[in-house]
Amino acid sequence: MSIQTFHATLFAEGEQSDLFGYLLNVAQASLKDVLAVRSELAWDGWG
Amino acid sequence: MDIYSQAIQLLLDHPQTQRWPQLQETCTRALGHKPIAWDFPLRACRALGGTQAAIAPAIAALTCAHMSLILVDDLLDEDPRGAYHQLGVGQAANLAQALFGLALDVLETAGSPSGVLAAAAIGRLQLHTAYGQDLDAQNLRSEEAYWQVARAKSSPYFATGLYLGALFAGAEAGLAKQLHDFGALFGEMLQIHDDLNDCLAVPANVDWLQGRAPLPILYAELAPHAQQARFMELRGEVSDPAALQEAQSILVSSGAISYCVSELVRRHSQAGEQLAGIPLRDSRPLEELLDQMIAPVRHLFERVAS
């Protein structure tokens, strides 16, 4: 899905799929909550 | 001796390594520093029910390839941790060449019927990654270019790891190619993880400071969100911790982080379908890779559940 389409879908009014519901929760979360799982977001050693 | 140590011993026993102290030192250092995905050949072998002892040359070649790629990557990124600071630029480039040559020779002299196919795969890994590095250095700022770079720069290494393992486990070329394609998708997922990690680093990572466009930043630059102009202002000020925090908050609220997560979820599902179509003796060694990729997404969803 393109960035433009994704953005429009994520912030669209009305019924969302389960996945987009979760993704919207992420967009509405605090930076602190997102940073809390940052250490899991990469395997060490890739450039 | 474990399989990884056996693999490194193959490199250390090579006549060229024995007569070249710098190459010997580099291979010796690898004993204590397993490269990322070093175990991909082993996982492929286990999934196919092959004999573990046969894949030491595949692990040795992949380790050489990784050391070579990192030497060059550090040069291109001007990474302060790069070995070229001690070796000099020319020597680092020369050592990178030597490591790829060593990988080829170890594969060809292993006596496997797949030695030629395996050596050709290492050649393609070098060629495709170099192309990806060149594209990356051009700093092209479009979605199409981003995925092109990820496929060229990140996918070949992981794909080759599984491909080599499959060949040395005795798989025919078509089956090995299926594992290769699964590894390529894994490489794209890893690149997304890496971009997320780098963009959320504190203090600002080199991706911010060198004006690059990893996926979250590319999204924040291209998506029509209300804070786009502010983000572009902050982009050049991220050495200031307050500006970095505000820019990272915009990555969250604009949907940039959500977009990356959705691309991870999409590839995870695609890779699961691919895996289901590969006739494996035991799919668990490869399923574990997918589980590791998606676990942080699950944790994030749980944490932010409203």
B303 pLDDT higher than 80: yes
Question: Does the beta carbon of A2 lie under 8 angstroms from any beta carbon of chain B?
Answer: yes
pLDDT in tens, B144-178: 999 999 999 999 999 999 999 999 999 999 999 99
Q: Which residues contact B212 (CB under 8 A, 6 or more apart)?
A: B139, B206
End-to-end distance of chain A based on CA atoms, in angstroms? 26
| Chain A interface mutation, best of B69, B259, B264, B298, highest count of A Cβ atoms under 10 Å | B259
B174-221 pLDDT, tens digit per residue, is 999 999 999 999 999 999 999 999 999 999 988 898 888 899 999 999
CA dihedral B135, A2, B262, B155 (to 10 degrees): -30
pTM for the structure as a whole: 0.93
- Contact status, residue B45 vs residue B165, Cβ threshold 8 Å: yes
Q: Is the pLDDT of residue B246 over 80?
A: yes
Q: How far apart are CA B221 and CA B227, in angstroms?
A: 10
> Are A7 and B77 in contact (CB < 8 Å)?
no
Rg value, chain B, Cα: 20
- Per the CB < 8 Å rule, is B258 touching A10? yes
Closest CA to B212 of B233, B231, B236, B246: B236
Please, are residues B38 and A45 in contact by the beta-carbon 8 Å criterion? no
At residue A47, the 3 state secondary structure works out as: coil
